[in-house]
Structure 1
Amino acid sequence: MTAVPVPDPGAVREASLDELGRLGLPLPPENFPLVWESGDEVELRPTVEVEARIAVLHLILARCFGMSTEAAMSWLLASRLVDSVTPPEWDFVTAGKGDHRSFVLHHDALFALTWVLGLTRQLDPSLPVDQDLVAKLPNIVGGETFDRWRGRLLVAPQHPADAAALLDLHYCLDWAYLKSEREGLPLPGEIDSHSIGQRRWALEWAVVLRGQYHDPPPGWEEVDLST
């Protein structure tokens, strides 16, 4: 999808803060940075790139829950996705190296990416991952390759401006959830800051902002969640 003008940053932030208030979460300080400026543009990464990231994350999760190295490598080769695997993911797939728990958490990042492609209807911060998500993903165990999976997909990518608005919300949610957990405040639903952070990670990667103050789109492992 081609780049479009960003929505009004002030109006989007006001809507994000209203949502935090509705959820009973603390609000960030008044000087909390905006994600973009008026005059910037926004687009989504190419659909096939998002699909490849979904497939790789799904494979990583399969590896977390018992898929053998040999089976994982066979699927990657058959799907021609080796180049889509990041170095840390490669170490985990081939040798089981890395933080197993951090890879399991990618379940929520994968969920957010399915929302970007219109495969998931909503990304509610008070609800966990949809129970029927697996049915929308490649049947890796059954030998469904990446191309075959793409052939049965009915994607309807979100409008870039809507995805940007959800990114702003998760930027604010990430701050609010972390503050709530530090101070022992109640959370609004069944998920915690780890899930929110993973969803933000996916949105930060998939939503491409262009303008004077934006760097080139980062790689998956280069997404900055420090602010």
Structure 2
Amino acid sequence: MAEVLAPDPVATRLANLAELQRLGLPLPPETFPFVWEPGDLVSLRPTREIEARAAVLAVILERCFGMPPEIALAWLDENRLNDEVTDFEFDFIKGGVGDHHAFALHLDALAALTWVLGLSRRLDPTNPPDPHGPLLPDFAAGESFAHWRARMLPAPRETELVAAVLDLYYCLDWAFLAVEAAGGDRPGVLGSAAIGQRRWGLEWAVVFSGPYQDPPGGWEEIDLST
């Protein structure tokens, strides 16, 4: 999507801190960095690229819950999505190599991507994602990637809104980790792992450009350490 001027980072952060307060969460320190700087431009990755990433995550989740590897590999190959799969993902899809639980957590990264695409209605930090069954390719029926795209007709959300929600999940990620470290109560059923997965999806989908911004990285290159 075309680049637009990113929202005011200070006003965005103040609104998101107010949301943390509403949820009863601690606020990050005043030195907590902004995601972007005044004057930066922002865009979303191409819709087809986001759809492909969502489809790959859907295949990974199907593998987590019993899809045979040969079926998963065949579907990716038939739909020319092999280049969208990372090395870590390929090892898991082919041979079950890796942390099964960590791959299953991608349900919430997928929730972020379907929200960005306008396929799901909400990305509520206190509740599980909307049911994904109708939103994803019907693997059991052999639905192709192209047919799924045509059936869903995604309408990506406004870039400025997605950027603002990314900043919210950036703050939420810190707050949930702080609450869990202190043994406090979370504001809903989700934990820091789910919040971090949603941030991962949003960080990957949103692309900033400016003097202090790095070029967009691959899925495995997203840095969630801050």
The bucket for the TM-score relative to the shorter chain is over 0.9
Partner of 1:17: 17
Secondary structure of 2:2's aligned partner: coil
- Counterpart residue type for residue 176 of structure 1: A
Partner of 2:130: 130
- Counterpart residue type for residue 201 of structure 2: A
Deviation sequence 1:45-95 (CA, Å, 0-9, x none): 000000000000000000111111111111111111111100000001111
Counterpart-to-counterpart distance in 2, 1:140 and 1:66: 12
Matches within 5 A, 1:64-213: 64-131=64-131, 133-213=132-212
- Supply the RMSD in Å over aligned alpha carbons: 0.7
Matches within 5 A, 1:51-62: 51-62=51-62
Partner of 2:49: 49
Deviation sequence 1:126-175 (CA, Å, 0-9, x none): 111112x2111101122111111111112111111100000000000000
| Aligned structure 1 segments of 4 or more residues deviating by more than 2 angstroms | none
Secondary structure of 2:213's aligned partner: coil
Counterpart-to-counterpart distance in 2, 1:209 and 1:60: 28
Counterpart-to-counterpart distance in 1, 2:177 and 2:161: 24
Deviation sequence 1:93-143 (CA, Å, 0-9, x none): 111101101100000000000010111111110111112x21111011221
Provide the TM-score with structure 1 as the length reference.
Answer: 0.98
C-alpha contact 2:128 2:189 (8 A) present in aligned 1:
yes
Secondary structure of 1:80's aligned partner: coil
Secondary structure of 1:208's aligned partner: strand
Counterpart-to-counterpart distance in 1, 2:75 and 2:203: 28
Counterpart-to-counterpart distance in 2, 1:77 and 1:142: 17
- Counterpart residue type for residue 49 of structure 2: E
Counterpart-to-counterpart distance in 2, 1:139 and 1:78: 15
Counterpart-to-counterpart distance in 2, 1:148 and 1:118: 17
- Counterpart residue type for residue 206 of structure 1: A
1:222 partnered with 2:221: yes
C-alpha contact 2:126 2:190 (8 A) present in aligned 1:
yes
Where in structure 1 are there 5+ consecutive unaligned residues?
Answer: none
Where in structure 2 are there 5+ consecutive unaligned residues?
Answer: none
Secondary structure of 1:37's aligned partner: coil
Q: 1:39, CA displacement in angstroms?
A: 0.6
